[in-house]
């Protein structure tokens, strides 16, 4: 980078904030003037940034004037309070919370899918990061939508505990030890014990008996694909995995399309790796393929024998990296570079 950028990471002591700092060094911003921001309770702490340690600064005391970019991942309430202030000071905000995702005036961006929305954005803009489960699903299905349209999606998500932050990771680790030690398990982060268990509720229940996590897939898919005709029927499940979300995706296209055309489109799609192999040992999983990786992986791609335009696939990705921190840094990099597609 020719200009030394000033970047603020809000929520720098959380799981996603720490990942943002790490990915910034990997994606060409190791020499940037980076500020790690958090609440007052983190004052005196430091965080890793490449080979340096950054002293944590208090968000309440930080002046965003002169800051080029703000990466926010400290909860929707914090974003609603501070992101507009940062934007007013001329800082371009990339927000990883739910605060602005459904705002019609704010772009909701997956760079590989609708990165064109980043063109001609001025300083002081706010850009929203989609939900983690939405990001990986859309990277997988966007090539199909572009070729044949999509009428309907049925998806079951199997979401790791890191989606609930550091507290979720700690609860699974603690409960795993307690279970193996034949101790009583008491849940605190999740509604029920998560170790060796699956919980079919993520986020709050809505009036239609779907959870908010499930409805996010419906709302965000329509906005990102710019297609209000798509219906998304989702079931979101929390599973005892530390990192990496998995999804069983079943879609129905609007127009006929051959599986050969689907495979060709997916093989050429940015950020997507298709493993087109029926061997059980070749199938992608959250642990072996998703965790720690930047790409979204697909296997079990096949025609739905019960529907003439049905397609089934299994999708995995790292929810903290591509599902949150990496997506934000890719947005930043695209804006700085002023070009598409994303360079990884």
- Is 132 among the residues known to form the active site? yes
Identify the burial level of 258 via C-beta atoms within 10 angstroms of its C-beta, where 0-12 means exposed, 13-18 middle and 19 or more buried. Answer: exposed
Name, in order, each residue with C-beta under 8 angstroms of 120's C-beta and a sequence gap of 6 or more: none
Radius of gyration of the chain (CA): 20
The catalytic residue among 35, 145, 245, 289 is 245
Per the DSSP assignment, residues forming a β-bridge with 249 are 155, 313
Beta strands in the chain (DSSP E): 6-10, 33-38, 46-49, 52-58, 69-72, 92-95, 126-128, 150-159, 231-238, 245-253, 272-274, 296-303, 310-317
DSSP state of 105: T
Within 10 Å of residue 295's Cβ, how many Cβ atoms? 20
Sequence-distant (6+) residues with CB within 8 A of 67 are 6, 7, 8, 35, 86, 89, 90, 91
**Closest by alpha carbon to 62, among 8, 128, 5?**
8
What tokens appear for 223 in the block?
A: 């906005």
d(CA 189, CA 177): 16
Question: Could you tell me if 233 and 152 are in contact, meaning their C-beta atoms sit under 8 angstroms apart?
Answer: yes
CA pair distance 209, 204, nearest whole angstrom: 10
Q: Is 27 within 8 Å of 5 (Cβ atoms)?
A: no
Q: How far is CA 96 from the centre of its chain?
A: 8
Instruction: Please check whether residue 295 is in contact with residue 273, taking contact to mean a CB–CB distance below 8 angstroms.
Output: yes
Active site residue: 132, 145, 218, 289, which one?
A: 132
Q: Which two tokens stand for residue 340?
A: 């598409």
CB atoms < 10 A from the CB of 263, how many? Answer: 14
CA–CA distance, 55 with 44 (Å, rounded to integer): 7
Active site residues per annotation: 132, 245
């Amino acid at each position: 980078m020719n200009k030394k950028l000033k970047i603020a990471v809000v929520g720098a002591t959380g799981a996603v904030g720490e990942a943002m700092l790490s990915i910034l060094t990997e994606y060409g911003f190791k020499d940037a003037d980076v500020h790690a921001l958090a609440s007052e309770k983190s004052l005196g702490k430091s965080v890793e940034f490449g080979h340096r340690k950054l002293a944590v600064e208090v968000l309440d005391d930080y002046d965003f004037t002169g800051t080029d970019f703000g990466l926010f991942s400290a909860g929707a309430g914090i974003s609603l309070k501070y992101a507009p202030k940062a934007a007013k000071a001329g800082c371009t905000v990339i927000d990883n919370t739910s605060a602005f995702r459904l705002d019609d005036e704010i772009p909701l961006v997956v760079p590989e899918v609708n990165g064109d929305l980043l063109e001609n954005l001025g300083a002081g803009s706010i850009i929203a990061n989609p939900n983690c489960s939405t990001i990986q699903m859309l990277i997988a299905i966007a090539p199909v939508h572009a070729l044949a349209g999509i009428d309907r999606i049925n998806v079951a998500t199997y979401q790791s505990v890191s989606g609930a932050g550091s507290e979720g990771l700690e609860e699974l680790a603690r409960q795993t030890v307690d279970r193996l030690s034949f101790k009583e398990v008491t849940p605190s982060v999740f509604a029920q014990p998560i170790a060796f268990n699956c919980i079919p509720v993520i986020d709050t229940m809505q009036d239609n008996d779907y959870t908010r996590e499930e409805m996010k897939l419906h709302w965000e898919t329509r906005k990102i694909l710019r297609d209000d005709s798509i219906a998304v029927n989702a079931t979101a499940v929390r599973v005892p995995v530390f990192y990496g979300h998995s999804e069983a995706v079943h879609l129905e296209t609007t127009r006929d399309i051959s599986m050969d055309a689907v495979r060709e489109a997916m093989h050429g799609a940015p950020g997507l790796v298709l493993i087109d192999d029926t061997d059980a040992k070749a199938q992608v999983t959250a642990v072996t393929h998703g965790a720690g990786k930047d790409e979204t992986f697909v296997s079990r791609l096949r025609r739905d024998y019960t529907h003439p335009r049905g397609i089934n696939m299994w999708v995995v990705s790292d929810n903290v990296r591509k599902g949150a921190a990496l997506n934000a840094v890719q947005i930043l990099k695209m804006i700085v570079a002023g070009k598409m597609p994303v360079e990884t």
